[in-house]
Amino acid sequence: MGSLDRSLIAGLPVFGGIAPTDLDRIIGQARSLRIAKDQPVFEQEKQADSFFLLLDGHVRVVKSTPDGHEVTVRYISPGELMGIAHALGLTTYPATAIAAVDCIVLGWPSRLWPTFAADFPSFGSNAYKAVGSRLQDAHSRVIEMSTEQVEQRVARGLLKLVKQSGKKTDEGILIDFPISRQDIAEMTGTTLHTVSRLLSAWENQGLVKSGRQKVMVVEPHRLLVIAEGRDEKA
Amino acid sequence: MGSLDRSLIAGLPVFGGIAPTDLDRIIGQARSLRIAKDQPVFEQEKQADSFFLLLDGHVRVVKSTPDGHEVTVRYISPGELMGIAHALGLTTYPATAIAAVDCIVLGWPSRLWPTFAADFPSFGSNAYKAVGSRLQDAHSRVIEMSTEQVEQRVARGLLKLVKQSGKKTDEGILIDFPISRQDIAEMTGTTLHTVSRLLSAWENQGLVKSGRQKVMVVEPHRLLVIAEGRDEKA
DNA sequence: GACGGAATTTGCCGCAGCGCAAATAAGATT
DNA sequence: AATCTTATTTGCGCTGCGGCAAATTCCGTC
């Protein structure tokens, strides 16, 4: 487990404006975890006894329906909080979080949440702002699902991933964790077949380069045109 | 404007556990508004200079997209907060709120939000729980849009309205504010035509009775069967 | 009680995209 | 290098539901 250092979290927006001694106190109560690829950080319906901060890696948050469908709610990037069920007034996790790659995570017992929020006002308000922006995101998703067609949603989904986790290469911008057609389908509300067809088509037009569990966006701008429906049915 | 009485808000969950003197202080800073049917309480993109509590009536919260689509985010019932943009870290309203009927509303200047949240912890935590449950709702909507078909979503939408604002009559449960096919379409992500077809079909089966701007659910249980997809294609 | 505007109903058509199924392809394993 | 597993591609048929358009009904209003 090793000794945890304040510098791990010092630069993060959620801990913005918190005194060094407080940071030490915060990190002193954390335990650090290594989560292997494809392993859960926490699971839907289980008691929410911890909340987490992703230090390194990428995590996919998935909600399962009773009838076996899975919907990807969001991807978590380093520096983001997750599993903050208690901030939402829940005692169980509303979704499952799966490591998309090997991850390093800090975890705190949920009972510390109220203390943190009260003792470190900027932590509390940052966290609630994060919740607020997730609410915005969720509403955007609803709107997209209501008003856009699949092609636009997939384009938008890829652009979101690019913005969040894009890594420049000399051939384009690579989404820097393994992602399957199925994963993309689950985050855009379609099927892997349709995603595959779209990617094939885009590959032919030189918009993207993709392969097994990887997607590289070559021409973000043209993808944006599609995402915004200004495509004129190319 | 008249004198505002503490009893107006004393029983409400958001103000649960707050001392009478504090309630007086809270209500002393409120102004009460009467909003006529079809008039906005607040509007998307505008400066969020107030937040509100609905005392009486029903309010529809709508988001408009740049390309002219409208999506109904939710309906607000008496006792609920609305326009709490600042709790989400926003300075403008993310949606427009329209009075579905004549409404009575309390409004406070947004600058009081931080004070309220800090001085009345139960107010703050109740409010954040409310935000949390809206986030849950939004995610449910996303999942429904991804995995269910229109018929199920419309059934589910009606049931939600029934639960929230249903008024028992001797013929069934009436949704007690005017609601058009178009409104239902905007909240379920479909078109008014499809809603009309569905309601007609359900009317023939004796599931609902509906008319101009009104819907009455006669057999909630059978509607639930449809909503849950346990319909076996009747 | 006739008129006008808005809401609703319904028929018909077309197609986006899903389901099914089978063929490949790309890694992983031994 | 041969084999196995998992991901991806692609063809084909079908259908849910959106788009268009026209008819009808309801309700407020003068």
Q: CA of B104 vs C1' of C7, distance in Å? A: 27
pLDDT for residue A68:
86
| pLDDT, average across residues A22-36 | 93
Label residue A233 by pLDDT band (50, 70, 90).
Answer: low
- Name every chain A residue with its beta carbon within 8 A of the beta carbon of B224: none
The protein residues having a beta carbon less than 7 Å from any atom of strand C are: A 149-151, 189-191, 193-194, 211-212; B 180-182, 192-193, 196-197, 199-200, 203, 210-213
Residue B58 near residue B36 (C-beta atoms within 8 A): no
- Name every chain B residue with its beta carbon within 8 A of the beta carbon of A67: 147, 229
Of B87, B129, B229, the CB nearest to A88: B129
Task: Check whether A156 has a pLDDT greater than 60.
Answer: yes
Residue B122 near residue B78 (C-beta atoms within 8 A): no
| pLDDT, average across residues B185-191 | 97
At CA A230, angle to CA B64 and CA A75, rounded to 5? Answer: 65
Burial class (CB in 10 A: 0-12, 13-18, 19+), A40: middle
All residues at 6 or more sequence positions from B225 whose CB lies less than 8 Å from its CB, including other chains: B231
Task: Check whether A118 has a pLDDT greater than 90.
Answer: no
Long-range own/partner contacts, residues B204-210 (CB < 8 A, 24 or more apart): B205/B234, B208/B158, B208/B172, B209/B171, B209/B172
Which pair of structure tokens corresponds to residue A170? 């000399």
Q: What is the pLDDT of residues B24-68, one digit of tens each?
A: 999 999 999 999 999 999 999 999 999 999 999 999 999 999 888
Rounded to an integer, what distance in angstroms lies between the CA atom of residue A195 and that of residue A61? 20
Task: Check whether A1 has a pLDDT greater than 60.
Answer: no
Domain parsing of chain B, residue ranges:
7-145, 148-227
**From the C1' of C27, which residue's alpha carbon is nearest?**
A212
pLDDT for residue A17:
83
Q: What is the pLDDT of residues B123-168, one digit of tens each?
A: 888 888 899 999 999 999 999 999 999 999 999 999 999 999 999 9
Q: What is the pLDDT of residues A44-86, one digit of tens each?
A: 999 999 999 999 999 999 999 988 899 999 999 999 999 999 9
Scanning A120-191, the segments in alpha helix (DSSP H) are 121-147, 150-165, 181-188
pLDDT for residue B3:
67
Task: Work out how many CB contacts closer than 8 A connect A with B.
Answer: 105
pLDDT for residue A14:
87
All residues at 6 or more sequence positions from A67 whose CB lies less than 8 Å from its CB, including other chains: B147, B229
Q: Tokens 């409120």 map to which residue? A: B30
Intrachain domains A7-145 and A148-227 with the same fold: no
Task: Check whether A4 has a pLDDT greater than 90.
Answer: no
The side-by-side arrangement of strands in the sheet containing A96-99 is: A40-42, A96-99, A59-64, A70-76
User: Which candidate in B135, B136, B231 is best for mutational testing of the A interface (most A CBs within 10 A)?
Assistant: B135
Nearest nt (C1') from A179 Cα: D7
pLDDT for residue B120:
86
If one looks up domain B7-145 in CATH, what number appears?
A: 2.60.120.10
pLDDT for residue B128:
86
The third-level CATH classification (topology) of the domain covering B148-227 is Arc Repressor Mutant, subunit A (1.10.10)
pLDDT for residue A232:
66
**Which DSSP symbol is given to A87?**
G
pLDDT for residue A108:
97
Distance from CA of B118 to the nearest CA of A (A): 9
All residues at 6 or more sequence positions from B97 whose CB lies less than 8 Å from its CB, including other chains: B40, B41, B42, B43, B52, B59, B60, B61, B62, B76, B82, B83
User: What is the number of helices (H) and of strands (E) in chain A?
Assistant: 8, 12
Burial class (CB in 10 A: 0-12, 13-18, 19+), A207: buried
pLDDT for residue B63:
97
Rounded to an integer, what distance in angstroms lies between the CA atom of residue A134 and that of residue A137? 5
Amino acid identity, position B218: V
pLDDT for residue B233:
53
Q: Using CA atoms in the order A75, A77, A79, A81, what is the torsion angle rounded to 10 degrees? A: 10
Q: What is the pLDDT of residues B2-27, one digit of tens each?
A: 567 888 888 888 888 888 999 999 99
